[in-house]
Amino acid sequence: MDHAQPKLDFIPPTFNPFVLRMVHLSLPMLQRFRVQPWLPAGISPIETVNGETLVDLYHQFQNNKIRLILAFRHCEVDDPLSGLYLFSRAIPKLARQQGISLQSPIHSHFMYDRGMTIWAGNWLGWLFAQIGGIPVHRGKTLDWQAIKKARELLVNGRFPLTVAPEGATNGHSEVVSPLEPGVAQLAFWCVEDLAKAKRVEQVVVVPINIQYRYINPQWSKLDWLLSKLEADCGLAKSIEVASTEKPEQFYYQRLLRLGEYLLTEMEHFYRHFYHRHFPDLPQSLSREENLTVRLQNLLDLSLQVGEEYFGLKQKGNIIERCRRLEEAGWNYIYREELSNLKSLSSLKRGLADLIAAEASLRMLHMRLVESFVAVTGTYIQEKPCFERFAETSLILFDAIARIKGTRNPRRPRLGWRKSRVTIGEPISVNQRAIAYQQNRQGAKQAVAQLTHDLQIALEKMIV
C-alpha cells in the first residue's frame, strides 16, 4: 500500500435472497474450480457429522425458542465452501429425512474481516453484503459499528450468526489456535439484550469443526512444491527417495532443511538490518525442539520491529500483538481525519503517502508472523501424514511469496480433498449469564470460562 487512503466505510448487510440462491447454485463449480488465485478449491465430497443436532437447533430458532451463534472453526480460506454446502444441501436433506419442516433458505449471517475487500476487491464486499455478511475492522480494538449490527441481528435477525472464534486462519486442520473472546461476549450481550426486550428465547452457542483429508495423497505433487520452494531459496534438491524408503521420512528431512534454512536467513536479516540479538540455545535440544524455539524467538523479534515503529508495548500473546499492530498500521494508512484526500496540498499528500508506505512495510513483518502462528517443529513428527506435510509446505509457500512480494499468489493444488464438518454439542449460555451479570470480575471470568469450554469442544472434534 503506497498511498494514504480515506477511512474504510462500514458495509451494511443488505440480504438479497436472489443473490444467495445464485451462490448456492454455483457451489458445485466453486468446489471444483479455482475462481481466485488464493482459492485452492478441489473439495469433494463434504461429509456432515451430527448434522441432526443442527437441524433441531434451526427448528427451535425458527420457532422463536432460541437465538443461535454458530462458532465455526476457520482454518483456511476454503472453509466457506463447506459452510455453504452445510446450509444449502446437508441440513435441508437431513430435515426432510427426519420429517422436520424448515423455512427456506437455511442460512446464517456471518462476520468477516473488512480487510478481505482490500486484497480481494470491492466486489467481495458487495457479495458479502448481499448474503448477510457483517464486516469487522479487525484491527480496531472495538469496532462498534460491527458490534452494534451483530447484536441487532443476534436478537432480531432472520438467521443465526456465524463467527470464527479464532479470529484468523492458521492453516492447520488439526490445531485450534487460542480463541478470541468475541463469541462469548456476543452471547452474553445477546442474553442481556433479550432480557431488556422482555423476551424469553434461550441463547445457544454451537461449536462446528471443519477438517480436511486428501482423498488420494499425491506425493509427486508435494515433491514438485518442495522443489519449487528449494529453488526459491537457492537450495539444491535433496537426494532422491529410494524405492524402498518411506516417502514420509524423505519429505520430512526436506521440510526440516527448508525450515532451518529459512530461519537462518531470517535471523541474519533481522540481526544485520534491524540489529536484533537472538539468544543462544541449549545444546541439549533436539533438532525439532531447536527449530520450534528459534521460530518463536524469530516471531517475537519480528513483532518487536513493528511495535517499536508504531510505539506499541509488547503485551499479550502473539495473536494479540498481531491485532494491535494491524490496528496501528491501518490507522496510518486509512486516515479517518483525512476525509477528502484530494483537498490536501501536494506536500501533505506526499507526507501521508510516505507514512502509508512505511506502515505497509512494517505491517509485512506482522503478516509473516501470522503465517507461522501455529507452526511448530514437531507438528509433522507427531503425526507424519500427507495432510500435515501439505499444510506446512503451503504455509512455507505463502511466506516465501510474501517475501518475494507476490500479490495474491496462486496456491498450488496438491490433490482433491474431502471436508468433514462436525456439529458439536450445543452450549447453553443463559445459566452462565448469572455469573456474568454479578460484577465486572464475574463477567470477565464468565467470558473466559465460556471461551475455554468452546476451545475444548472444538479440539475434541478433531480426529
Residues of the chain with pLDDT under 70: 33-41, 139-141, 238-245
Q: Judge whether 366 and 306 are in contact, CB under 8 Å.
A: yes
DSSP structure string for 83-101? HHHIIIIIHHHHHHHHT--
State residue 309's pLDDT score.
95
Q: Grid coordinates standing for 308?
A: 517499536
Per-residue model confidence (pLDDT) at position 30: 79
Q: pLDDT value at position 139?
A: 63
> Length of the chain in residues, anyone?
463
Q: Which residue has the cell 513428527?
A: 381
Q: Note the maximum CA span of the chain.
A: 71
CA pair distance 62, 72, nearest whole angstrom: 20
| Beta partners for residue 203, in sequence order | 67
Domain ranges of the chain: 11-215+417-460, 219-404
Domain 11-215+417-460 has CATH 3.40.1130.10: yes
The answer to whether the CB of 329 falls within 8 A of the CB of 367 is no
